[in-house]
Amino acid sequence: MDAVRVADRDRYLSVLYAPEQKRQALLALYAFNAEIAAIRDRVSEPMPGEIRLQWWRDVIASGSGEAGAGHPVAGALMAAIATHRLPISAFDNYLEARIFDLYDDPMPSRTDLEGYCGETASAMIQLAALVLDADEAPKHAELAGHAGCAQAITGLLRLLPVHSARGQCYVPRDILAAAGTTSEEFVAGGKAPSSRHAVQAMTALAREHLRAFERGAKSLPASLRPAFLPLSLTGAYLDRLERGKDGMSSLRKHLLMLKAASRGW
């Protein structure tokens, strides 16, 4: 709980709306996600990061909590996987996608970006949904796909300054080319119109997936809402980014989540 509260406040707040008996498993998933997302900041070069990802892959593949003995997040995650029969393949695909974070290679295309989002953010939503309601979750996998893309792309937009400082570029080459720039020019941090156009295109892509999610969200059962609650903040984040701002007050977050948790979308 402490790890998620500090590293991922939005998901932490969403867990508070889940049934009490489901919260520990959700926190384990989100703490795992935060742990993996932080690897790039903890290593000086990619290879130690890949070794760390392989350690997680081995622990999860073992099917035993003993493999991760001494690591509180690993222990909690293995308990969640066992209790809720979560698919190991989803974690393997997640960890494979996260290798991209360790390098400075440009994102090749929009399709690749959506694939990355699908294996990471969308997978987290689908796994959380399986914890909440294993019978209903598979029926809403496509919705989780759009939700994860909207959430992840918005997160990447919010982290643009951090990624640029590292020399990373998650904006796909085809979007950059259409805007008239390159990944090298974009990372350099210039304020040329072409860079702004690329950001606008990314924002439009996030909104496209958000609209697709919202169109289908009326069919979302109340049992699955906590898995999707962070999406209640995505539109507000995008609005603020377009005004050149970021962040959101805790009160605003609570109000938006409360509305979605009680009424749905």
Looking at the fold, whether 197 and 152 belong to one and the same domain comes out as yes
The dihedral over CA atoms of 263, 218, 1, 246, expressed in degrees to the nearest 10, equals -90
Pair 3, 76: CB distance under 8 Å = no
Looking at the fold, whether 18 and 133 belong to one and the same domain comes out as no
| Size of the chain, expressed as the number of residues it contains | 265
Q: What pLDDT digit, counting tens, does each position of 65-94 carry?
A: 676 678 999 999 999 999 999 999 999 999
And the tokens for 241?
């980014």
Looking at the fold, whether 62 and 132 belong to one and the same domain comes out as no
Looking at the fold, whether 99 and 145 belong to one and the same domain comes out as no
And the tokens for 151?
């959430």
Mean pLDDT computed over every residue of the chain: 95
Q: What is the number of structural domains in the chain?
A: 2
Q: Is the dihedral of CA 21, 24, 27, 33 positive or negative?
A: negative
Other C-beta atoms closer than 10 Å to the C-beta of 114 total 20
Looking at the fold, whether 186 and 71 belong to one and the same domain comes out as no
pLDDT classification of 190: cutoffs 50, 70, 90 = low
- What CATH number is associated with residue 174? 1.10.600.10
Looking at the fold, whether 82 and 28 belong to one and the same domain comes out as yes
In DSSP notation, 86-115 reads --HHHHHHHHHHGGGGGS-PPP--HHHHHH
Domain region containing 27 = 1-103
pTM of the model: 0.95
Looking at the fold, whether 121 and 93 belong to one and the same domain comes out as no
Q: Which amino acid is at 44?
A: S
Phi, psi of 85 (to 5 degrees): 50, 50
Domain boundary (77, 103, 129) is at 103
Q: What pLDDT digit, counting tens, does each position of 208-244 carry?
A: 999 999 999 999 999 999 999 999 999 999 999 999 9
Q: What pLDDT digit, counting tens, does each position of 132-174 carry?
A: 999 999 999 999 999 999 999 999 999 999 999 999 999 999 9
Looking at the fold, whether 82 and 165 belong to one and the same domain comes out as no
And the tokens for 175?
């979007």
Q: Which of 54-58, 93-97, 110-114, 245-249 has the lowest mean pLDDT?
A: 245-249
